[in-house]
């Protein structure tokens, strides 16, 4: 009976040691898991920061693009207005040139008539 008790105690001691080793292994695995979770949390935070920065930069690029579009649109409108003004000036210059030609023709007629009158008055 004593022998059986000793064997039972040894088996219990071995089982207890095995349980202790298993508990240590489990504790190491839990600590490793906690470490990995903390690392993943840090990577998640970093990823979130990168995405937020990207979104801010994208919004800034859109704002600049909108400003550029608006500026280009204003330039195009200004260019159209300038072309209209140039066309009107060209029309006015052509009208002035035509009127100037008529005046020149009138002056030539007056010169001719003046010469004719002068010639008639000499006779």
Tokens 């970093």 belong to 46
pLDDT tens, residue by residue, 55-111: 999 999 999 999 999 999 999 999 999 999 999 999 999 999 999 999 999 999 999
What percentage of the chain's residues is helix, strand, coil (to nearest 5)?
100, 0, 0
Distances (CA, A) of 120 to 27, 110, 112, 115, 116: 137, 15, 12, 8, 6
Tokens, residue 44: 């998640």
- Residue 120: pLDDT band by 50, 70, 90 thresholds? confident
Per-residue pLDDT tens for 17-34?
Answer: 677 677 777 887 888 999
Please tell me the predicted confidence (pLDDT) of residue 29. Answer: 84
Query: Phi-psi bin for 3: left (phi > 0), alpha (psi -120 to 50), beta?
Result: alpha
**Tokens representing residue 13 in the block:** 């001691």
Q: What pLDDT score was predicted for residue 122?
A: 72
Tell whether the model's pLDDT for residue 54 goes beyond 90: yes
Rounded to whole angstroms, the Cα distance separating 123 from 111 reads 18
């Amino acid at each position: 009976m004593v022998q059986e008790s000793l064997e039972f105690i040894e088996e219990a001691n071995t089982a207890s040691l095995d349980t202790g080793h298993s508990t240590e292994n489990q504790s190491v695995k839990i600590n490793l898991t906690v470490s990995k979770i903390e690392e993943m949390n840090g990577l998640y935070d970093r990823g979130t920061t990168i995405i937020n920065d990207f979104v801010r930069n994208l919004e800034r690029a859109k704002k600049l693009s909108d400003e550029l579009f608006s500026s280009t649109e204003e330039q195009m409108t200004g260019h159209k207005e300038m072309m209209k003004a140039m066309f009107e000036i060209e029309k006015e210059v052509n009208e002035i040139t035509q009127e100037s030609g008529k005046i020149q023709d009138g002056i030539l007629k007056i010169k001719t008539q003046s010469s004719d009158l002068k010639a008639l008055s000499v006779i």
